[in-house]
Chain A
């Protein structure tokens, strides 16, 4: 429900933005900003105003816009002279590949390092890792990316500089997969590194809390092996908050992907977004934004549902408020800017 409202807010914003802009769409179509070129006669203007439905009341325009979206009509790109939905569909897989891969990699890294730190809390190893992760989580992804690019691709020549696959090469089967992975390695690594910090801090904190719980002492008293205590008793309980965390972080992850794709000239939606900004292709820009926002919201909804099935405490209906409280508390503690 919350997500539906959010999405409606985004849609409404998207609808009103071009209409709030100063100027007239026909002036915009016909010339550079400011100068009015007499490319349209009075009759033509009236014809197009009626054709695009701009003479209708705003409310009707709004519902027409919503109805169009339901049918997957995102508008028409001025620059590429193609349907926005079609352009986006072509680029979407690359962004999806990057975001999913980076999510899993950063989870893995964050859990490993976080539990490493928590088990050695306050030792020098913990402190060094902590400093390193705090600094890393603050460096914006595109700076990290440009450094990796210089060192590993420019300097050492280990990875390709740009793109998602070798052009004009006719690889088949396994070779093709290898080529794609080779190109994706640096972007994914950058994005994961930039996002690991938040997960690391969360794992470190929750694990420290769990380690102080009574059932840990019980487990030790039972004489269980250290391995079993660590992984079955401690880590398993500390991982639950991560579900919500990953979903919340996804907005930042998508923002990071937009930046990283531009550093590595990776042909995903972020790259497309910059191109759209560059040529001021507003319908395309809005289309990309809608798709990204929709993806993030859908993932959040999914995480909520997943959390409810995973955590036995929230399975009974009336404890919903409790889960909500836990979620907001967690948000407060773990704010990491995009």
Chain B
């Protein structure tokens, strides 16, 4: 139970907003993991009348093919979380390595990398991703790859700034004057300082990735074999005249609520942790 202490410490540092965000997040993760035990209807096959309102055998009603919505949402949570986690890990790791390298090496390689980052920033992400997803096909793996490809610049910039600051610290300079190698300094002295800010930026990346995946799914570029929340919303919105029927009250509303909950809880938690990990960011 060595984890308990830091968790307790973190909990105390959070504001009310952050705590609520964390709780919702834990609940949603639980929902995704325990999806088979929480649902009693198949999530990919028809199990009743189409467009049934909530109640009875269908907790949240059914869609136009008679597929249970609660089951779809539970399994859809897996997709959203995998996308968020996968992108955050890939982009965080890649961005971290690039940032450390740029900050530590300096010189022309740093300048080249910073220029590349500048290019990534001005690029309109969503249209680029639409084009890439359209060309390379929209499997879940491709979507995660494309998302990671366009979000590594954010952690890279933060990590580089931090490495630049740390490099000037006395203890790092002393270690180097004793003849410590670059790898030793990076792993021994820099990494412990970098991990918290990297973790925080990864939370934000996850939020962004989930939103973007939902947006791509909404534009018809989701992975048709894995029903994410965005895809459910896409199907609902494509239903003719959904705004004039009562169907939106469950078909559109529930995935909407869950997506909003997930994204805003990630944002609130992220902002809070940012404040803890780096007091400068919170002020500025």
Contacts and interface: CB of A to CB of B under 8 A. Distances in A.
Nearest to A250: B124
B124 A296 contact: yes
Given A138-B264, A149-B243, A274-B219, A293 B259 contact: no
Contacts of B244: 154
Interface string B116-146: 0011011111111011101100000000000
A259 B237 CA distance: 12
A146 B219 contact: no
A119 to B, nearest CB: 18
A196 B39 CA distance: 39
A251 interface: yes
Interface string A311-338: 0000000000000000010011101011
Interface residues of B, number: 51
Interface in B65-79: none
Given A135-B264, A205-B284, A289-B131, A259 B218 contact: yes
A115 interface: no
Contacts of A21: 135
B250 interface: no
Interface in A265-315: 273-274, 277-278, 280, 282, 285-286, 288-289, 292-293, 296-297, 300
Given A17-B135, A138-B267, A154 B127 contact: no
A252 B150 CA distance: 13
Interface string B160-171: 010000000000
Given A138-B263, A142-B218, A146-B233, A248 B130 contact: no
A140 interface: yes
Interface string B258-274: 01100110111001000
A335 B219 contact: no
B127 A255 contact: yes
A262 interface: yes
Contacts of B121: 248, 331
Interface residues of A, number: 62
A282 B157 CA distance: 33
A337 B124 contact: no
Interface string A32-57: 00000000000000000000000000
Contacts of A134: 264, 267-268, 271
A252 B225 CA distance: 28
A285 B130 contact: yes
Residue of A150, A288, A333, A338 with highest tally of chain B CB at under 10 A: A338
Interface in A1-52: 2-3, 5-6, 9-10, 14, 17-18, 20-21
B176 interface: no
Contacts of B243: 149-150, 153-154, 161
Contact of B17 (A5, A131, A139): A131
A66 B80 CA distance: 40
A292 B204 CA distance: 26
Contacts of A300: 122
B119 A143 contact: no
Interface string B206-230: 0110011011001111000000000
A140 B230 CA distance: 11
Contacts of B215: 140, 142, 255, 259, 338
Interface of B: 17, 115, 118-119, 121-128, 130-132, 134-135, 151, 154, 157-158, 161, 204, 207-208, 211-212, 214-215, 218-221, 233, 237, 243-244, 248, 252, 256, 259-260, 263-264, 266-268, 271, 281, 283-284
Interface of A: 2-3, 5-6, 9-10, 14, 17-18, 20-21, 131, 134-135, 137-140, 142-143, 146-147, 149-150, 153-154, 161, 205, 209, 248, 250-252, 254-256, 258-259, 262-263, 273-274, 277-278, 280, 282, 285-286, 288-289, 292-293, 296-297, 300, 328, 331-333, 335, 337-338
Give the 7 A-B residue pairs with the shortest CB-CB distance, closest first: A255-B126, A154-B243, A337-B208, A251-B124, A138-B267, A6-B119, A135-B264
